[in-house]
């Protein structure tokens, strides 16, 4: 569904008042995401995960420089095509709950998403209702303003906004942040359900534990580089199926695993890749 080929992103910044420089956010990223799969992108903050999402959607700030190619459904994803497909074929579940408009009720916001996806005015309001009901938000929550919703409910409103667009590629940016385990599983299962309908889901997270239960494939990113892409099955036992030291270190660092293993120390002493 989505193929990323040797993608590099650079953003300008000012070293001094007159001296412009380029900061490389990520470099030579290559990925393929198939329909019906949940593909997790895991990395520490600053690894370039969110910027990768914005690059796919074409929402980068002015002046950003990209290199490499994007293909969506086997056709090149040009800026013009990105603009056309945003909200219709490509959907984003943003990281921050601040993305909800504080001055509009949930149902209205979801109906806007439906309108923006090209639904006629007559049905948008109704499909917003259906989408919210699908995510177990009752009448009261549908009429509520965002500040009246709990974190989990707000996250489900955001998911409903992506759902109502009927997009085929859904990028979820840190959907599990700030939720209690029960709410988190609910949100993650909702993503898994979307994949089971044949959509492609990119799950961006910093926590490997949240990705493993639902992901089919996992890409580990570190400091703007793709460290390793592997199947979820590779994260097993001592992690012998993992190739890179960093991925092994991440796996071993999980509380249930042997996090005292000396491998971690070696992995972290690897020369920095950026």
Report the residue number, 146 or 239, with the smaller CB distance to other proteins: 146
Using the rule CB under 8 A, give the single segment among 98-106, 223-231, 243-251, 254-262 that binds other proteins: 98-106
Contact with other proteins (CB under 8 A): which of 86, 163, 184, 252?
A: 86
Report in angstroms the alpha-carbon separations of 138 from 112, 121, 142, 145, 217: 19, 22, 6, 13, 34
| Interface with other proteins: number of residues (CB under 8 A) | 39
Cα(126)–Cα(87) distance, integer angstroms: 18
Report the residue number, 151 or 245, with the smaller CB distance to other proteins: 151
Q: Is 62 in the site for other proteins (CB under 8 A)?
A: yes
Cα(185)–Cα(171) distance, integer angstroms: 17
> Do 94 and 174 contact (CB within 8 A), yes or no?
no
How would you list the strands of the sheet with 2-14, edge to edge?
20-33, 2-14, 65-72, 75-76
Which residues are within 8 A (CB) of 91 and not within 5 positions of it... i.e. 6 or more apart?
161, 162, 165, 167, 169, 170, 171
Region 18-57 residues binding other proteins, contact defined as CB under 8 A: 18, 54, 57
Q: Which of 23, 26, 8, 13 is nearest to 204 (CA)?
A: 26
Report the residue number, 14 or 256, with the smaller CB distance to other proteins: 14
Measured from the CB of residue 108, what is the shortest distance to other proteins in angstroms? 9
Report the residue number, 112 or 253, with the smaller CB distance to other proteins: 112
Measured from the CB of residue 60, what is the shortest distance to other proteins in angstroms? 8
Q: Is 125 in the site for other proteins (CB under 8 A)?
A: no
Report the residue number, 62 or 75, with the smaller CB distance to other proteins: 62
Contact with other proteins (CB under 8 A): which of 165, 168, 223, 229?
A: 165
Binding residues for other proteins (CB under 8 A):
12-14, 17-18, 54, 57, 59-63, 83, 85-88, 90-92, 94, 96, 98-104, 112-113, 116-117, 145, 147-148, 158, 161, 165
């Amino acid at each position: 569904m989505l193929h990323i080929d040797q993608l590099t992103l650079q953003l300008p910044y000012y070293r001094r008042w007159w001296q412009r420089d380029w900061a490389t956010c990520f470099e030579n990223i290559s990925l393929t995401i198939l329909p019906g799969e949940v593909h997790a992108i895991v990395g520490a903050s600053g690894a370039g995960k969110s910027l990768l999402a914005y690059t796919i959607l074409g929402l980068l700030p002015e002046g950003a420089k990209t290199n490499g190619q994007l293909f969506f459904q086997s056709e090149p994803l040009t800026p013009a095509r990105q603009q056309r497909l945003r909200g219709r074929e490509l959907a984003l579940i943003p990281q921050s709950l601040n993305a909800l408009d504080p001055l509009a009720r949930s149902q209205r916001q979801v109906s806007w998403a439906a309108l923006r996806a090209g639904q006629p005015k007559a049905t948008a309001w109704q499909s917003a209702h259906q989408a919210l009901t699908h995510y177990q938000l009752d009448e009261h929550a549908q009429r509520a303003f965002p500040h009246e919703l709990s974190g989990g409910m707000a996250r489900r409103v955001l998911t409903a906004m992506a759902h109502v667009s009927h997009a085929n590629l859904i990028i979820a940016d840190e959907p599990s942040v700030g939720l209690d385990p029960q709410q988190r599983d609910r949100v993650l299962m909702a993503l898994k359900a979307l994949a089971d309908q044949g959509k492609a889901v990119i799950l961006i997270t910093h926590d490997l534990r949240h990705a493993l239960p639902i992901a089919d494939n996992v890409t580990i990113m570190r400091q703007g580089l793709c460290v390793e892409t592997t199947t979820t099955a590779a994260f097993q036992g001592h992690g012998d199926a993992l190739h890179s030291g960093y991925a092994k270190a991440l796996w071993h660092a999980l509380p249930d695993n042997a996090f005292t293993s000396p491998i971690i120390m070696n992995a972290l002493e690897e020369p920095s890749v950026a």
